[in-house]
Amino acid sequence: MMGTTIAQSIPIAISPILTRIYTPEDFGVFALYMAIAAILSVIATGRYEMAIMLPKKDEDAINIVALSLIISFFVSFISFVIVFVFNVQITNVLKNPEISNWLYFIPITVLLTGIYQSFNYWSNRKKEYKRLAISKVVQSSSSATVNLGMGFNGFGSSGLILGGVFGQSIATAFLIKMVWKIDKSKMEYIKKIKIFALLKKYIKQPKYALPTTLLDTISLKIPTLAISSLYQSLTLVGHYMLVERMLSVPAGLIGGAIGQNFYQEFSNRINSNKKESAKLLLLKVWTLLFAIGIVPTILIFFYAEELFSFLFGENWKEAGVIAAVLVWMYLFSFISSPTSGAYLVLGLQNIGFYFGVAQLIGKVISVSVLVMSNNILLFFYSLAGIEIFLIFLYNIVILNKIYKK
- Domain presence at residue 327: yes
**Per-residue pLDDT at 322:** 97
- Domain presence at residue 236: no
Q: Say whether both 321 and 379 belong to one domain.
A: yes
CA separation for the pair 362, 386 (Å, rounded): 6
233 φ, ψ to 5°? Answer: -140, 105
Q: Using 50, 70 and 90 to split pLDDT, how confident is the model at 81?
A: very high
SS3 203: coil
CA separation for the pair 97, 255 (Å, rounded): 38
- Domain presence at residue 303: yes
Q: Say whether both 37 and 163 belong to one domain.
A: yes
Q: Say whether both 194 and 264 belong to one domain.
A: no
Candidates 257, 393, 252; CA nearest to 330 is 252
Q: Say whether both 130 and 268 belong to one domain.
A: no
Q: What digits encode the pLDDT tens for the residues 287-319?
A: 999 999 999 999 999 999 999 999 999 999 999
Between 256 and 228, the higher pLDDT residue: 228
- Boundary (domain end) residue, out of 201, 224, 258: 201
- Domain presence at residue 215: no
Q: Say whether both 146 and 41 belong to one domain.
A: yes
Count of all residues that appear for the chain in the document: 405
- Domain presence at residue 225: no
Q: Using 50, 70 and 90 to split pLDDT, how confident is the model at 405?
A: low
Q: What digits encode the pLDDT tens for the residues 230-286?
A: 888 899 999 999 999 999 888 877 877 788 778 778 888 888 888 888 899 999 999
- Boundary (domain end) residue, out of 179, 201, 223: 201
Mean local confidence (pLDDT), 31-55: 93
Q: Say whether both 259 and 193 belong to one domain.
A: no
Full domain range(s) for residue 130: 2-201
Q: Say whether both 103 and 179 belong to one domain.
A: yes
Q: Say whether both 326 and 178 belong to one domain.
A: no
> How many folded domains does the chain comprise?
2
